[in-house]
């Protein structure tokens, strides 16, 4: 990891990247390798010819100069090949830096998605708190109804009005329940749609990225097996695949992130609007119901006062009828009160059960989504680490090959220098021997001439 971070932290000048044409660089490197091999064969051939030839033939054909020229050409070819190798190392460093930046971008996107999931969970907690408040308000309404039902001396008209109040309360409860159900349905649909869309987008992006990683890994493995024979072709394919993979991953990440963020923002906006509308409707309904209840209580008080006056005036005439009516009304009122209490308790239990079930479902969904995000993040990090490891191995192998070639070339240069020194010594001995032979030949000729003249 330290080596990867060191490579990724290196600042490569943009001028070098712009001037580095990968295709031409690989073609030039291949040509330089061929040139080095050709110059090496030419140098060996000239040395062999010089070694097998004699002094006069070597001097006549200028083989010493040809060997020196071949040595100079070989050194130039080696220099060009070394320059191309250094440029390739710079390009590989730039690619490593880009891959590291892409990994950081992916980690940032995962953190953003996690924060949005936490925001949804907080919104669900606020909705649950609102449901609890509605439950408390329902209890207060039930208590008010209970107080109304416990009033004594009700008339038939007041009983009908009380039944009307109960009907209105029931209708208000039904409206509240309908609004709650619509809000829960809308929230569930939006949350499920957002989660499904984000999950599908992430799965598609991860699948495509995994396929790209597999293809790139296969290509890198093939390049490692055939690098000694097809170095130029594999480097070109690796550079092209790296560029395509980078552009595709950037495009997919941008599309997935923008789509997820837009979907979540729309869901949150709709959820807030529905929540505000629901609160406004509940507040309006409760205010209307409170006003109606206060008016009914006031009217009930006035009617009760009038009724008490009339009862006192007509007590003697209608006491038996009023007792019968009062008993019937008490029984009917008690039955109605029990039915209303049972319905209210059943409704409250159903609402609490539904709210708890939906809360648990949302919590489980958030937990599964978070686990999927963490799993996807780990898989992506492992894939990128594997890719960087393969890239590092390829780079190390390439560096090792270049170092071994440089060592071989250095050894060849040393052997060439040794052969040149040996050749110089041999040339000196050949020249000395040739001079000695020439002197002996001249002396022999002079001796023969002198002997010939002496005989004459």
Extended strands (E) in 98-186:
none
Distance CA 413, CA 287 (A): 101
**Residue 155 confidence (pLDDT):** 52
Over range 352-375, report the average pLDDT. 66
Look-up of token digits 């010493």: 64
**Residue 242 confidence (pLDDT):** 47
Q: Are 242 and 97 in contact (CB under 8 A)?
A: no
Q: What is the mean pLDDT of the chain?
A: 67
Task: Give residue-wise pLDDT tens across range 146-155.
Answer: 766 665 444 5
Q: Taking the alpha carbons of 355, 360, 362, 363 in that order, is the dihedral positive or negative? A: positive
**Residue 221 confidence (pLDDT):** 57
Task: Give residue-wise pLDDT tens across range 40-96.
Answer: 888 888 888 878 777 777 777 777 788 788 788 888 888 887 877 777 777 777 777
Q: Report the 10 Å Cβ neighbour count for 345.
A: 11
Distance CA 365, CA 194 (A): 12
Among 227, 270, 210, 166, smallest CA distance to 402 is for: 227
Distance CA 107, CA 109 (A): 5
Residue 374 pLDDT greater than 80, yes or no? no
Phi, psi of 230 (to 5 degrees): -130, 50
Q: Are 241 and 216 in contact (CB under 8 A)?
A: yes
**Residue 246 confidence (pLDDT):** 56
**Residue 339 confidence (pLDDT):** 67
Distance CA 87, CA 83 (A): 6
Task: Give residue-wise pLDDT tens across range 166-180.
Answer: 676 677 667 777 766
Q: Are 183 and 275 in contact (CB under 8 A)?
A: yes
**Residue 311 confidence (pLDDT):** 45
Among 259, 313, 286, 308, smallest CA distance to 109 is for: 259
Domain residue spans of the chain? 1-101, 324-374
Reported as a pLDDT band with limits 50, 70 and 90, residue 129 is confident
Look-up of token digits 């440089």: 406
- In angstroms, the Cα distances linking 331 to 147, 324, 325, 338, 343 are 16, 11, 10, 11, 18
- Tokens linked to 51: 């070694």
Query: Inter-axis angle of helices 22-52 and 315-455, to 10 degrees?
Result: 20
Over range 310-315, report the average pLDDT. 54
**Residue 59 confidence (pLDDT):** 76
Phi, psi of 212 (to 5 degrees): -65, -40
Task: Give residue-wise pLDDT tens across range 229-262.
Answer: 555 555 555 556 546 655 664 565 566 546 645 6
Task: Give residue-wise pLDDT tens across range 393-430.
Answer: 766 776 676 667 667 767 766 776 776 677 677 767 76
Burial class (CB in 10 A: 0-12, 13-18, 19+), 372: middle
**Residue 406 confidence (pLDDT):** 63
Distance CA 27, CA 19 (A): 15
Eight-class DSSP state of 150? T
Distance CA 88, CA 227 (A): 15
Could you give the percent of the chain with pLDDT greater than 70?
41
Residue 26 pLDDT greater than 70, yes or no? yes
**Residue 304 confidence (pLDDT):** 47
Among 8, 4, 16, smallest CA distance to 90 is for: 16
């Amino acid at each position: 990891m330290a080596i990867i971070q060191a490579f990724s932290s290196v600042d490569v000048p943009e001028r070098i990247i712009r001037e580095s044409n990968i295709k031409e660089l690989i073609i030039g490197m291949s040509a330089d390798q061929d040139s080095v091999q050709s110059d090496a064969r030419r140098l060996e051939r000239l040395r062999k010819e010089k070694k097998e030839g004699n002094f006069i033939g070597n001097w006549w054909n200028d083989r010493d100069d040809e060997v020196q020229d071949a040595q100079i050409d070989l050194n130039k070819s080696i220099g060009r090949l070394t320059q191309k190798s250094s440029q390739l190392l710079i390009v590989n460093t730039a690619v490593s830096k880009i891959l590291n930046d892409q990994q950081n971008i992916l980690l940032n996107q995962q953190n953003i998605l996690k924060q949005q999931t936490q925001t949804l969970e907080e919104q669900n907690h606020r909705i649950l708190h609102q449901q609890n408040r509605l439950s408390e308000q329902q209890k207060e309404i039930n208590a008010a109804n209970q107080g109304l039902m416990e009033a004594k001396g009700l008339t038939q008209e007041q009983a009908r009005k009380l039944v009307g109040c109960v009907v209105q309360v029931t209708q208000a409860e039904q409206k509240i329940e309908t609004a709650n159900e619509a809000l829960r349905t809308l929230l569930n649909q939006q949350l499920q749609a957002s989660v499904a869309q984000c999950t599908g987008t992430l799965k598609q992006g991860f699948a495509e990225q995994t396929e790209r990683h597999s293809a790139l890994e296969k290509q890198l493995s093939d390049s490692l097996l055939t690098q000694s024979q097809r170095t130029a072709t594999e480097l070109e394919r690796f550079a092209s695949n790296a560029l395509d993979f980078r552009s595709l991953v950037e495009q997919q990440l941008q599309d997935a992130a923008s789509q997820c963020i837009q979907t979540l923002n729309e869901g949150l906006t709709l959820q807030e609007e529905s929540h505000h509308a629901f609160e406004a409707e509940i507040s309006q309904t409760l205010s209307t119901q409170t006003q109606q209840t206060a008016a009914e209580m006031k009217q009930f008080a006035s009617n009760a006062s009038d009724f008490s006056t009339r009862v006192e005036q007509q007590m003697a005439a209608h006491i038996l009828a009023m007792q019968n009516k009062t008993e019937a009304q008490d029984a009917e009122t008690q039955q109605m009160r029990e039915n209303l209490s049972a319905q209210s308790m059943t409704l409250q239990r159903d609402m609490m059960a539904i709210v708890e079930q939906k809360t648990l479902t949302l919590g489980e969904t958030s937990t599964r989504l978070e686990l999927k995000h963490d799993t996807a993040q780990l898989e992506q990090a492992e894939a990128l680490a594997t890719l960087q490891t393969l890239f590092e191995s390829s780079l190390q192998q390439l560096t090792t090959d270049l170092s071994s070639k440089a060592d071989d070339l250095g050894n060849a240069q040393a052997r060439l220098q040794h052969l040149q020194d040996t050749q110089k010594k041999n040339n000196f001995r050949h020249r000395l021997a040739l001079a000695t032979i020439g002197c002996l030949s001249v002396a022999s000729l002079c001796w023969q001439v002198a002997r010939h003249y002496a005989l004459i």
